[in-house]
Chain A
Amino acid sequence: MTTASPAVSARRRRIRTLATVTLIAALSAALVGCSSGTAKSGQTTITLYNAQHEQTTTALIKAFTAKTGIAVKVDNDDEDVLTAKIEQEGSRSPADVIFTENSNWLQQLAGHGLLAKVAASTLAAVPPADSAQDHEWVGVSARVSAMVYNTKDLTASQLPTSVLDLADPKWRGKIEIAPSETDFWPVVSSVADTYGRARALAWLKGLKANAGANVVPDNETIVADVNKGVAQLGIINHYYWHRLVAENSASSIHSALAYFAAGNAGYIKTISGAAVLKSSTHSAAAQKFVAFLVSHDGQTAIANSESFEYPLAPGVAANSADTPLNQLSPSGFTSAEFGTGAEAKKLLQEAQLL
């Protein structure tokens, strides 16, 4: 092997060195430049750990900042992730407020002593049964569990009247479930409360067998799949179907929403709520934000958004696409009964669904 020929390659090498050094310098500069963000001074900023759908929160935050001048920094993630994050961060958590889709995660945080009490005037804005009994979180919106079915494959009269029927072998290969989505957990918990643990476990095993490969990560996938005919029937919360309708042209909707028989264990109302963290360094502003969520303005923002969840404050009408809540007849299952959701999780794990 010989070394390079003198003059030409020496020059080429010098150019190459120069190029490499320049490249590294430019990249370092770009990096430093990019990472030094500037914050607006003189304005209070609270950090919101948001697990609610951004469809719901974007309008809310905008309205809140317009009204109070308090800026909101949002960290969007799944509710389980944000809960685990707060537990890991402990007293150093940057979060001031957490807003979840399901109440169990708030209850879990309350159990670990990480939440502050919500102001009494805030709690008074919504029915007491829809907030934490120990005042550590406030209910913001309600959702109702429902069936979505493909209208080409099924008619309303063919639908099961009880959630237990879905474990029947006649539904093999026809249903789709999303067990890792917390929205499904209150249904599991309600079935266990109504029929006992053993029957609930057997029911879950039946569901697993019937779903086969159609075990998916979330309700958005269930509605899309049922609409496409990948599966005939799925259990979701009502608003997922309304969002599907809002996102697609009428001609491409081949699905409909239906409910189990009145009071059935699979027909429940669940609560999405918010809480102020005990570790919050802006607790006054954080309390203001939570109060805004249940205020007339906040609740109206929810009703007018593409969230399709039910506002909880009396006197605020739901989105006109929704069936009014007082025309539905869910069972009496409450968020207090749902608790931290630990029992539902354990059952799902035992059924090998999680």
Chain B
Amino acid sequence: MGEGLASVTRPRGARRGGRSRALTVVVVVIGVLLLLPLIAVIADAQSAGWSEISFVLFRPRSATLLLNTLALPLVVTPLAAVLGTAAAWFTERTALPGRRIWTILVVLPIAMPDFIVGYAWHTIAPTADPFAAAVLVMTLSSYPLIYLPASAALRRSDPALEEAAHSLGLSSTRTFFRVVLPSIRSAILAGCLIVVLVLVSEYGAFEIVRFQTFTTEVFTEFQVDPNAAGALSIPLVLIGILVVVGESLVPVPRSSARPGMARPSLVELGARAIAVAAGFAGLVVLSVGVPVGALLYWMLSSQHTTLPAQATVLQATLTTCEYCAGGALLAVLLAIPVAVLSDRRRRGLALVVERSTYLTLALPGVVIAVSLIFLALRFAFGLYETSWLVIVGYAIITFPLALSCVKTSVRQAPAELTAMGRSLGRSGVFVFLRVTLPLLAPGLVAGFCLVFLTASTELTATLVLQPPDTVTLSTQFWAFQSETAYGAAAPYGLVIIVLSMVPGTLLAIWFDRLGHRQAKASNQ
């Protein structure tokens, strides 16, 4: 018993050394697997030779592309940050009518594939300026990435500070800028970095609204000149490294939550409530209503197409579910050891693995897909053109998302509980099943949902990796869309949205509960 107590109080005790080392090895292997695409990019670029690289990289077109690639995040990120933060503040700190419903509705745009939002706006305004269209589409589809961390941070932060500011005579506005904003700043910044990565690697929406970035160029070059594409990915990798380094400079969001923390007293909006509610409604209409409306419009316009469908909606749905569930399962399983190790040691190896996986977020899906094909052809021909490659591709692309959810749960599950289970003489497996897993379960389910959602809206990697004879909802939508068969594309698009609404809603609820649970935990 004494030994048990010791291990409770000293969780990093000597006896755990062996297990820790095994975990470290597992994490290193996972890290290497996830970074394989990056290695393949480098190998590919090297085989193309310097003259090829410099020809495609150092020419006027690259300057235009670079400008576009950088200008978009500069405009969209602040816009998304303002929208996301404002929405978070209103739902968390004001007596907005229908608060709980808005918390779900404003998150729903993450269930809207960017290429469907792009399609919707493009069919409405086909002559719109490409940059303006890209800004509109990406702001509407990426603000929830800021809303989610911002609202979670608001729930964690102690309202006593705000009330103190109020009692000292500061107005709501000033309290917001002097007290609230600083306390959630790092959460907003973390969200902004994800937005930048999403913008850098976006393909479908930009292709539709004709906005050219390095990512759209990489996809084109993969078709006409595969050698050049590897070289063109280099700027994207560099941007990814910059963002990841930037991320490591942002301090870890620190909770000001403390025992006995009161529930925040909600700011009464009075007559302004109508304006704010209208603003929320407008945001939801623009980001969710317009895409769904456009899809319904095209579906009902029953335009004839000469292009035959490769799969019925049902077949495509089943294929999509198979790939996405597989990818989500794999991503979550891979995330568990990394999350556990990174929770035990905030520095060193786990951190390196964790951060480096973020690089894959900056890489266009097509680069990862082509790398997997490159590797499969050389080392695993049995996997070539099978569903497994799609599943592995999805897991690599979405790993950082799975990790973020699993990590949140691991952080909340005190290591002491696991240690205590073991100290009571239970086996490791028993403790994992009965103690660790239930504690992690919500995070695992959330991770699964987030990956499923992201994968079901994935386009470029799927286009490259899907085995012949199979299409997913997104690739069949794309095939019709690119032939301007908008009517034929619409049902596939609608099913994608319906399909991703389920995990999207679960996720919104999880985030909502998470905040409340954290607040409650600090109250106990």
Contact = CB atoms under 8 A, between A and B. Distances in A.
Interface in B432-449: 433-434, 437-438, 441, 444-445
B255 interface: no
Contacts of B130: 213
Contacts of B169: none
A180 interface: yes
Nearest to A353: B61
B306 A78 contact: no
Contact of A84 (B207, B223, B307): B223
B317 to A, nearest CB: 12
A35 interface: yes
Interface string A209-230: 0000111111011001100101
A17 B468 contact: no
B293 interface: no
B322 A89 contact: no
Nearest to A222: B484
A246 B304 contact: yes
24 contacts: A3-B417, A14-B438, A20-B437, A30-B322, A31-B326, A34-B318, A55-B306, A75-B468, A78-B223, A84-B223, A215-B212, A217-B220, A218-B482, A225-B126, A228-B126, A230-B127, A243-B306, A246-B306, A247-B303, A345-B225, A349-B55, A352-B64, A354-B221, A354-B225
A204 B129 CA distance: 23
A342 to B, nearest CB: 10
Contact of A89 (B305, B377, B438, B482): B377
Given A75-B469, A248-B303, A180 B224 contact: yes
A13 interface: yes
A180 B441 contact: no
Interface of B: 55-56, 59-61, 64, 126-127, 129-130, 207, 210, 212, 220-226, 303-308, 310, 318, 321-322, 325-326, 329, 373-374, 377, 381, 385-388, 391, 414, 417, 433-434, 437-438, 441, 444-445, 468-469, 482-485, 521-522, 524
Nearest to B442: A16
Contact of B434 (A13, A19, A221): A13
Nearest to A185: B224
B229 to A, nearest CB: 10
B126 A84 contact: no
Contacts of A221: 482, 484
A80 B385 CA distance: 18
Contacts of B127: 230
A92 B521 contact: no
A180 B291 CA distance: 28
B524 A2 contact: yes
B271 to A, nearest CB: 42
Given A17-B433, A35-B322, A220-B482, A345 B224 contact: yes
B61 A35 contact: no
B126 to A, nearest CB: 5
Main secondary structure on A side of the interface with B = helix
A34 B391 CA distance: 13
A24 interface: yes
A247 B129 contact: no
A75 B386 CA distance: 13
A24 B212 CA distance: 41
B223 A73 contact: no
Contacts of A23: 445
Interface centre among B224, B387, B483 (most CB of A within 10 A): B224
Contacts of A157: none
Interface string A43-69: 000010000011100100000000000
A153 B222 CA distance: 37
Contact of A247 (B59, B223, B444, B485): B485
Contacts of A34: 318, 322, 387
A88 interface: yes
Main secondary structure on B side of the interface with A = helix
A94 interface: yes
Contacts of B441: 16-17, 19-20
Contacts of A225: 126
A84 B226 contact: yes
A20 B438 contact: yes
Query: Which 7 pairs show the lowest CB-CB distances between chains A and B?
Result: A75-B468, A306-B306, A352-B61, A224-B484, A34-B322, A80-B223, A13-B438
B485 A81 contact: no
A73 B385 CA distance: 13
Given A27-B329, A352-B60, A248 B386 contact: no
A334 to B, nearest CB: 22
Contacts of A180: 220, 223-224
A81 B207 contact: no
A47 B521 CA distance: 60
B521 A1 contact: yes
A354 B126 contact: no
A94 B382 CA distance: 12
Given A2-B524, A94-B385, A180-B223, A20 B329 contact: no
Contacts of A75: 468-469
A159 interface: no
Nearest to A85: B373
B125 to A, nearest CB: 10
A47 B468 CA distance: 9
A54 B524 contact: no
Contact of A213 (B210, B434, B445): B210
A74 interface: yes
Contacts of A28: 329
Contact of A217 (B64, B207, B321, B469): B207
Contacts of B225: 345, 349, 354
Interface string A222-241: 00110010100000000000
Contact of B444 (A20, A84, A214, A354): A20
A161 interface: no
A35 B329 CA distance: 15
